[in-house]
């Protein structure tokens, strides 16, 4: 079988229509040639995002809690933001979001994973980074809307993993990032 990996497939696009143009993402309908026939699929066209598992010197993850209207909840998340600055590499977006959302910078950065959030419904890719060597910084970033009453907490990584596995923390980016960070730290500890 060789190395286990996702495969890129370039199908002939027979037609594509912009169904809805939104402020952040669009809805597109594509008809593609597939095998001996064709199929039509609608999906959300998304710019992508970057997220940060920021871990302090005490092994605590910086979490934010904010209202998310589609799920009608204040869920716990890791700092993240859209890839909405033209030409900005995902790592720079992650650094910017860490500063804007929680007034922190980090000395050490490491790419953890890049993931498709919902491959059956959108084309979003989220790049998740591990940040260590945290320090507070002064910012003049003005938080508005859901960010205006955002709660920030530092929680031991093991508690975050327990919350994910128990189903109390259901944000997919938080879950994937925390589990990936825990595995990276486990491997580092085993190697030393």
Residue tagged active-site, from 3, 12, 21, 147? 147
Measured distance CA(139)–CA(100) in Å, rounded: 7
Measured distance CA(115)–CA(149) in Å, rounded: 28
Q: Calculate the CA dihedral of residues 183, 118, 69, 47 and round it to 10 degrees.
A: 100
CA-nearest of 57, 72, 53, 71 to 181 is 53
Measured distance CA(15)–CA(1) in Å, rounded: 34
Is 147 assigned a catalytic role?
A: yes
Strand partners, 136: 104
Structure tokens at 85: 């600055």
Structure tokens at 67: 């209202």
Measured distance CA(115)–CA(22) in Å, rounded: 23
- Per the listing, tokens 């904010």 go with 66
Measured distance CA(2)–CA(20) in Å, rounded: 41
Catalytic amino acids? 147
């Amino acid at each position: 079988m060789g190395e286990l990996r996702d495969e890129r497939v370039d199908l002939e696009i027979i037609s594509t229509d912009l169904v809805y143009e939104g402020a952040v993402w669009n809805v597109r309908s594509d008809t593609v040639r597939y095998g001996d026939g064709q199929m039509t699929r609608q999906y959300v066209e998304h710019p992508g995002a970057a997220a940060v598992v920021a871990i302090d010197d005490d092994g605590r993850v910086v979490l934010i809690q904010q209202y998310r209207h589609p799920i009608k909840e204040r869920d716990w998340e890791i700092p993240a933001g859209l890839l909405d600055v033209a030409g900005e590499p995902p790592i720079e977006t992650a650094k910017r979001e860490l500063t804007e959302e929680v007034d922190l910078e980090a000395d050490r950065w490491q790419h953890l994973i890049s993931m498709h959030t919902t491959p059956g419904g959108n084309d979003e890719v989220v790049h998740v980074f591990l940040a260590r060597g945290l320090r507070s910084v002064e910012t003049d970033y003005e938080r508005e809307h859901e960010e205006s009453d955002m709660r920030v907490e530092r929680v031991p990584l093991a508690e975050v993993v327990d919350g994910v596995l128990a189903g109390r923390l259901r944000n997919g980016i938080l879950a994937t990032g925390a589990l990936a960070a825990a595995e990276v730290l486990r491997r580092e500890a085993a190697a030393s």
